[in-house]
Each structure stands twice: as C-alpha cells, then as structure tokens.
Amino acid sequence: MKLLAVVPMLLLLAACGGGDKGNAKNEAAANACDAYAKQQLDGKTYKLDLTVLAASLSEQSGGMDFLKAPIVIDPGLTSENKQSLECTVRFTAGKDQPDVMKMQFIW
C-alpha cells in the first residue's frame, strides 16, 4: 500500500527535476544584469530578487533575451527609490556569461 503512494510522488519529482539547462541560462542572464546594475549604481545599495529576474527571461528577436524585475535602490533609507529594472542580454558561443546590451531603470 505504501508503495502505491510513493510511486506517484517519485514520478512527480522526476517530472519537476529535469530541464536545468534553461535555468542555468536564466541564472547566467540574471547574474550578468545584476553585475551591470551594480556597476551603474556606483556603490549605492540595492535590493534585486535574482530569482524573479531570472524567471522573467523571454527570448527576443535577433538572439536577444529580455529580463525585468522590481529593484529597490537605497532600501530602508529616506532616499529609498522603487523602480523596475529592464535588461537585454545576448549570449555568445564560447562565453559562459552573456553580454548586457541594454539596461534601463524605469520609474
């Protein structure tokens, strides 16, 4: 009887476990955008959920990928500023990290 309960759970876990390649691409794109944002914000503190940013990846024309997520600049300070971060990246064969082609902070 216990075996009948375990088999469906194992099948469900197996179905959810595949496809890490897409997640790796999303994570690499999100990390590239995060590094670029850090550079653009020149030492300011910020809060950016990389999981949300990675999950937002959508393929665009011309081999570009687009990501978008909320970002909070100077969180917890009187100068706190909530915006949206939009980032366009392009993967190049032979490189682990994509190039950031465009980044915008949307008020």
The parent domain of residue 61 ranges over 20-106
Q: How far is CA 77 from the centre of its chain?
A: 25
Give residue 21's pLDDT.
58
Is 96 contained in some domain? yes
Burial class (CB in 10 A: 0-12, 13-18, 19+), 81: middle
Is 37 contained in some domain? yes
Question: What percent of the chain lies above the pLDDT cut of 70?
Answer: 79
Residue 55: CATH number of its domain: 3.10.450.630
Give residue 18's pLDDT.
47
Is 8 contained in some domain? no
One-letter amino acid for residue 34 of the chain:
D
Is 12 contained in some domain? no
Is 15 contained in some domain? no
Is 1 contained in some domain? no
- pTM for this structure? 0.78
In whole angstroms, give the CA distance from residue 102 to residue 80: 24
Count of structural domains within the chain: 1
Is 6 contained in some domain? no
Query: Per-residue pLDDT tens for 25-44?
Result: 999 999 999 999 999 999 89
Query: Per-residue pLDDT tens for 58-79?
Result: 999 999 999 999 999 999 999 9
Is 10 contained in some domain? no
